[in-house]
């Protein structure tokens, strides 16, 4: 909607985890380096934990994209799997043809044969699982059994666990203590600080094709950090809506007023900052305008005027 208005090739703040927008901020390159070192050293389990919206899925996809031909990779994004479903999903990812009615013993055997074959080719198998905090305990135990397959030198299957902080709570359970003991490398993704937030916005705009003076002025960036807390997903949502508001007003720069419109139109940000008063540009309750749909309305106004 606003791409041409700002001279952009693509949307700079899409919520899709596009690895072309992977930026070294808030330790993300450090996290990637930890993962690469751990996997190249043959570690069995590696864990990455971060709050909602901190970029775990983007990091996971970036990792999968840069592992070389000496790795065979598998990615499972759905954690709500019972043990047979997990084994079937891993088999599908590794191109193992199995009978859907096969029992757990047969599935483990066929997967083991595939892992040995990949090892004999001189390659390694890496399995990445997202949102693991929601995985049933009994499924985690089957995952541990699957990683029991090893040679005298190294594991035949390496596993990277991505999850929200609740994953740490799950892993403290006695039922999965054997798996927990095998996690040799861990990393926690944190929200960005203010300088990193400002650099993040500027860099994403540039990657999307923007040229010229900074599109978000100092006041808007300060307010953006205040209301997003440096969480990438919230930053993307607010910046996208602020650009829509700027487009609707027919202006080229985002100021504090436009950023406030974006905040007012985003329930997740209000919940993120619950308990802390927000100063709106006017009294919403008595303005005769509700926040929902406001930005779209501004954009439609410009289209009709154009």
Q: What is the mean pLDDT of residues 107-131?
A: 93
The pLDDT tens digits for 179-237 are 999 999 999 999 999 999 999 999 999 999 999 999 999 999 999 999 999 999 999 99
What Cα–Cα distance (Å) separates residue 231 from each residue in 25, 259, 268? Answer: 11, 16, 12
Q: What digits encode the pLDDT tens for the residues 240-295?
A: 999 999 999 999 999 999 999 999 998 777 555 544 433 333 333 333 333 444 44
Radius of gyration of the chain (CA): 23
DSSP secondary structure string for all residues of 7-39: T-SS-TT-SS--GGG----TTHHHHHHHHHHHH
Summarised one tens digit per residue, pLDDT across range 2-33 is 899 999 999 999 999 999 988 876 578 889 99
Q: Which domains does the chain have, with CATH numbers?
A: 3-13+192-305 (no CATH), 27-189 (3.40.50.300)
What is the chain's mean pLDDT, rounded? 86
Q: What is the pLDDT of residue 273?
A: 57
pTM for this model (two decimals): 0.84
């Amino acid at each position: 909607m606003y791409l041409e208005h700002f001279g952009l090739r693509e949307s700079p703040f899409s919520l899709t985890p596009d690895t072309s927008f992977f930026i070294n901020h808030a330790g993300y390159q450090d996290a990637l380096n930890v993962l690469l070192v751990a996997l190249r050293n043959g570690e069995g389990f590696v864990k990455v934990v971060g709050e909602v919206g901190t970029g775990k899925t983007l990091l996971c996809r970036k990792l999968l994209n840069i592992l070389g031909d000496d790795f065979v990779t598998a990615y499972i994004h759905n954690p709500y799997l019972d043990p047979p479903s997990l084994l079937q999903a891993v088999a599908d990812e590794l191109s193992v043809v199995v009978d859907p009615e096969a029992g757990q013993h047969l599935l483990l055997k066929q997967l083991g044969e595939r892992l040995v074959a990949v090892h004999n080719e001189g390659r390694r198998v890496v399995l990445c699982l997202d949102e693991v905090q929601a995985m049933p305990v009994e499924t985690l135990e089957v995952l541990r059994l699957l990683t029991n397959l090893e040679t005298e030198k190294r594991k035949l299957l390496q596993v990277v666990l991505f999850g929200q902080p609740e994953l740490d709570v799950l892993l403290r359970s006695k039922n999965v203590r054997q798996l927990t003991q095998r996690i040799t490398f861990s990393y926690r993704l944190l929200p960005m600080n203010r300088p990193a937030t400002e650099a993040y916005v500027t860099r994403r705009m540039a990657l999307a094709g923007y040229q010229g003076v900074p599109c978000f002025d100092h006041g808007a960036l300060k307010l953006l950090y205040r209301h997003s807390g440096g969480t990438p997903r919230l930053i993307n949502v607010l910046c996208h809506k602020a650009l829509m508001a700027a487009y609707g007003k027919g202006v080229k720069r985002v100021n504090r007023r436009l950023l406030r419109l974006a905040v007012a139109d985003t329930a997740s940000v209000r919940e993120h900052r619950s308990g802390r008063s927000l100063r709106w540009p006017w009294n919403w309750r008595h303005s005769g305008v509700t926040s929902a749909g406001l930005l779209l309305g501004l954009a439609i106004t410009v289209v009709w005027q154009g």
